[in-house]
Amino acid sequence: MADEIDAANAILRSLGYAERDLAVFAAPKGRALLKGNKLLSPLSDDPATVLRVVQELVPPSDALGTATLRPAELRAGL
């Protein structure tokens, strides 16, 4: 679990996000939580799914600009 969370956070940093804007955290019951200022509300799922969301669906920070990601749109992209 920690490896997936660390990998997701490394990807987010490489995409230009500061931790306050978008980061993945460990959550209770073996879940991972994607949250930050660039996300309308937190997204909680198993760590592998959150890593997949970060890898495949989160755009680079400069491409997102002032927009806000929506968890429902991210889930729809899976």
Cα-based torsion angle of the residue sequence 70, 59, 23, 28 in order, rounded to the nearest 10 degrees: 50
- Dihedral sign computed on CA atoms, order 52, 31, 9, 40: positive
Domain spans of the chain?
2-76
d(CA 13, CA 15): 5
Residues in the chain, overall count:
78
How far is 47 from 37, CA to CA, in rounded Å? 20
Digit-by-digit pLDDT tens for the chain (78 residues) are 789 999 999 999 999 999 999 999 999 999 999 999 999 999 999 999 999 999 999 999 999 999 999 999 999 998
Task: Record the pTM.
Answer: 0.93
Q: CA-to-CA distance for 16 and 58, rounded, in angstroms?
A: 11
